[in-house]
Structure 1
Amino acid sequence: MSKAKKVIFVIVEGPTDEDALSSVLKQIFSSAEVHFHVIHGDITTEDAITANNAKSYVAKRIAAEMKKYAYKESDILQIVHLIDTDGAFIPDNLVKTRTEKGIQYFEDHIETGEVKYIQERNQKKSSVVASLCSTGKMKSSIPYSIYYFSRNMEHVLHNVATELTDDQKVELADAFADRYEENPMDFVAFIESEEVAVPGGYTQTWTFIREGTNSLNRHSNLRILFEQENLKSTD
């Protein structure tokens, strides 16, 4: 049975992404059904994913979720895919060696004990994202677009650039939801502000984030989502 409302299908990496954004997006797009699909990971760096199969992999995930919830293709208004950049578009020479285990992000470089691994991760992520950015549609006719938080969601939404525990991420997500649930247009104003917004069209914002060290700094192109004509009135 066809749904009463058109569906905005939102793909996110983790549950705290949904916790932070679900209530505010449902308020902003109140005449649509906003459906979150949590991947529980980063599609763009999964071992089995390449630039050549990324679109088909995402399409399969979407198809399985649509079947689960009895959505037809005609029910889906837009597929919105949200990712973190993780500094992945910086030049290889800006991935530097550190003696400690783990990875540390700075505004102009990354330090890690596994330089080659992170360089390869970055190259893979960059190629997969480039493929998904050029996709345009999923299945035969569903509009698809991908937006970024750089270097990650907590960096953009809270200006927290340090590594966080899962509990800390939950606390920040809950605080964010509480702040904007009743004032969703304040969130739109924030995401459109010079503080985080990347100017230009969709393609230009993706060109920008791939340049230099931009993918390590605090940027997002999510403002474009709120400018799309087909989402301004979903009745």
Structure 2
Amino acid sequence: MSKTKKIILFIVEGITDEMSLSLILSKLIDGSNVQFHVINQDITADFNSNSQNIIRKIDNELKKFLAQNNGLKKTDIKEIIHLVDTDGAFIKEDFILEDSQKLKTFYTTNSIVTNKRNLIIERNERKAGILNKLYQTSHIGRIGYKVYFFSCNLEHVLHNSQNAKCDDKCLYSYRFVDKYIGHEKEFIDFLSEGEFATPGDYKESWQFIKEDFNSLNRFCNFHLYFKS
């Protein structure tokens, strides 16, 4: 791995997040070495995560990335960009509906339907607290940090599929990359000009996503990264 360029480290939940974005972002971001660290879980929804320990847990993920890439140090990292799903974390619990027939939690634009309502209520309460903590955090491990959201999830924003099946996610990723490789600036236009682009600056976008059903609907503030 080249050490001549500082690394911009993108922390993402799953491999299809990396598949969809890594090559496009590598083409768009000049002067830096774009790297992805896939956590293979939603660290903001994990039942062992809370607003008190989330910074330490992300710092641990940073250490894992460095350990996996022998010779790298924290000083090699220019900034950490954390991409998260909102999963309806900010809606009122009245709109989390119990349905014992549902095998998987199902998201709509105004409700979460699940066979484990109490667990989802508890998850949302913790996740909302964690996201509130993260968007107000500017550094982790002395490295600049920002968190950007895809609502209700990345597939919802990029592919307009709110409840994408696992088998479909890879196919969506391949198609998305095929569409924008060689046309990377159109990707920025897609993020910036789509109806899902949140209004306002970074902090205002986080206030926006907490309102009403916005954390269930198709919104994203990642376009702000390119403005900065």
TM-score w.r.t. length of structure 2: 0.95
Look up the SS of the partner of 2:200 in the other structure: coil
**How far 1:2 sits from its partner (Å)?**
8.2
2:141 to 127, 139, 142: 139
Matches within 5 A, 1:94-105: 94-101=95-102, 102-105=104-107
Tell me the equivalent position of 2:130. Answer: 128
**How far 1:92 sits from its partner (Å)?**
0.8
Does the 8 Å contact 2:47/2:123 carry over to 1? no
Percent of paired sites with the same residue = 37
**How far 1:66 sits from its partner (Å)?**
1.8
Look up the SS of the partner of 1:191 in the other structure: helix
Look up the SS of the partner of 1:61 in the other structure: helix
Distance 2:34 2:175 in 1: 21
1:84 matched to 2:85? The reply is: yes
Does the 8 Å contact 1:2/1:75 carry over to 2? no
Matches within 5 A, 1:153-192: 153-161=154-162, 163-192=163-192
Question: 1:144-165: per-residue Cα shift (whole Å, max 9, x none)?
Answer: 000010001111011112x222
4+ long deviations beyond 2 Å: 70-74
Distance 2:60 2:41 in 1: 16
Tell me the equivalent position of 1:233. Answer: none
Look up the SS of the partner of 1:35 in the other structure: strand
| Aligned amino acid, residue 109 of structure 1 | S
Look up the SS of the partner of 1:144 in the other structure: strand
Tell me the equivalent position of 1:54. Answer: 54
**How far 1:14 sits from its partner (Å)?**
0.2
Distance 1:66 1:99 in 2: 44
**How far 1:3 sits from its partner (Å)?**
1.2
Aligned positions, number: 226
**How far 1:108 sits from its partner (Å)?**
1.1
Distance 1:2 1:215 in 2: 38
State the structure with bigger RCO (CA 8 A, min sep 6), 1 or 2: 1
| Aligned amino acid, residue 150 of structure 2 | F
Tell me the equivalent position of 1:30. Answer: 30
> Which runs of 5 or more structure 1 residues have no equivalent in the other structure?
229-235
Look up the SS of the partner of 2:61 in the other structure: helix
Distance 1:216 1:2 in 2: 40
Look up the SS of the partner of 1:121 in the other structure: helix
Tell me the equivalent position of 2:109. Answer: 107
Look up the SS of the partner of 1:216 in the other structure: coil
Distance 2:107 2:75 in 1: 42
> Which runs of 5 or more structure 2 residues have no equivalent in the other structure?
none
**How far 1:11 sits from its partner (Å)?**
0.3
Look up the SS of the partner of 1:44 in the other structure: coil
| Aligned amino acid, residue 219 of structure 2 | H
Distance 2:227 2:106 in 1: 35
Distance 2:106 2:123 in 1: 15
Distance 1:188 1:83 in 2: 18
Distance 1:47 1:106 in 2: 23
Look up the SS of the partner of 1:215 in the other structure: coil
Distance 1:47 1:112 in 2: 17
